Amino acid sequence: MARVSFIGLGIMGSGMVSNLLKSGHQVKIWNRSESKSRELEKLGAEVVATPALLAEGADYFMYCLADDAAISEVITGGHKMAELTKPGTIAIDLSTIDPKTSNVERAIYESRGVEFLDAPVFGTKGEARDGGLWVVVGGKEEIYQKALEVLNPISATTHYMGDGGSGTKMKLVGNLLVASQIVSIGEALALAKKAGLDLRKVLEVAAVADFKTPIYAGVGGAVIAGDYEVNFPLRLMLKDSRLIQEFAERLSSPATIAAITEDLAKDGVDAGYGELNASAIVKVIAQRAGVDLSE
Ligand code: NAP
């Protein structure tokens, strides 16, 4: 049993903490909006009043925050958690952020004698709740091996990707694939609707043919049901589409799909869909096409 300090109890972090508790770890939590701590307190987490109180007596310091600005506010600046974390603790960042930000974190931790893993996750609300995430990890391999005691309870599989920053890079590579699938099922459904096809039959084919993916089935089914309940907020998809482009630009690699995704996601956020699921990108595509995809 390990002592875990955890920050960031949003859609993803709250599921992660519940699974850490279920697996017998002792978990202390802090969240900017305190109300989100209360359900986890009922499950056995200890709520602390300030992030600094998480620095003492932790084997692991884990966090799943929204974006680079939140990391700056809580970890590298603002609350200065990277500086306060004690040597001997293993810090694990589960957020999706710019690899450059991850390097800044690592440099501070290393200067303090704290081991650090960048460990962003694939999967969404359901996988976080069920301990079924797919975690991609960068850092020292022996630290990854040790940290499996806290990564296994939140995940279906873990993947050691290589040196520091490799997890964050893999996350952006993977989210490029996610973005392409959401955009392509949206454009395909809009085109099919305009062409007079039955969308249920289109999805039946998409569920079995050699281009099938869980995203086509999941997003496609939800869109025709008019269901945009949030798992992965559109505002975070907009953030990720920008991160992918900046990352690709630094490596002189094309990221045209990320640019298209940003254009669609920005229109969606401007239209007030930022707190809907990222599949609201399809709403924007349907509006541009002048069709209604819901049954
Ligand atoms: P979320 O529900 O928006 O939660 C974000 C968390 O960050 C909340 O605890 C929030 O605190 C905190 N936060 C944001 N800005 C902050 C600041 N300036 N200072 C302190 N705390 C701050 O997001 P999520 O869906 O859990 O996602 C968390 C991370 O996982 C993101 O990097 C996201 O891209 C990534 N991710 C998400 C999914 C998904 O399907 N949702 C899947 C894979 C990866 P408050 O509660 O006070 O707002």
Q: How far is the CA of 66 from the centre of ligand 1 (A)?
A: 3
Question: Are 68 and 11 contacting, i.e. CB atoms less than 8 angstroms apart?
Answer: no
Structure tokens that stand for 250 in this block: 């630094």
Note the pLDDT tens digit of each residue in 20-67: 999 999 999 999 999 999 999 999 999 999 999 999 999 999 999 999
Domain borders along the chain are 3-163, 170-289
- In sequence order, what are the beta bridge partners of 182? none
173 Cβ contact list (under 8 Å, min separation 6): none
pLDDT-flagged residues of the chain (< 70): none
Note the pLDDT tens digit of each residue in 258-273: 999 999 999 999 999 9
Q: How far is the CA of 255 from the centre of ligand 1 (A)?
A: 24
Q: What's CA 135's distance to the chain center, in Å?
A: 10
- DSSP label at 76? I
Residue 295 has what pLDDT?
Answer: 84
Tell me the best of 11, 130, 154 to mutate to test the pocket of ligand 1, counting ligand atoms within 8 Å of each CB and taking the most. Answer: 11
- Looking at the structure, give the CATH architecture of the domain made up of residues 3-163: 3-Layer(aba) Sandwich (3.40)
Structure tokens that stand for 71 in this block: 């990391």
- Looking at the structure, give the CATH architecture of the domain made up of residues 170-289: Orthogonal Bundle (1.10)
Structure tokens that stand for 198 in this block: 């039955």
Q: How far is the CA of 38 from the centre of ligand 1 (A)?
A: 17
- Residue holding tokens 């007079």? 196
Residue 254 has what pLDDT?
Answer: 97
Return the H-helix or E-strand segment holding 39.
helix 38-42
Residue 43 has what pLDDT?
Answer: 97
Q: What's CA 133's distance to the chain center, in Å?
A: 10
Structure tokens that stand for 89 in this block: 């603790």
Q: How far is the CA of 222 from the centre of ligand 1 (A)?
A: 23
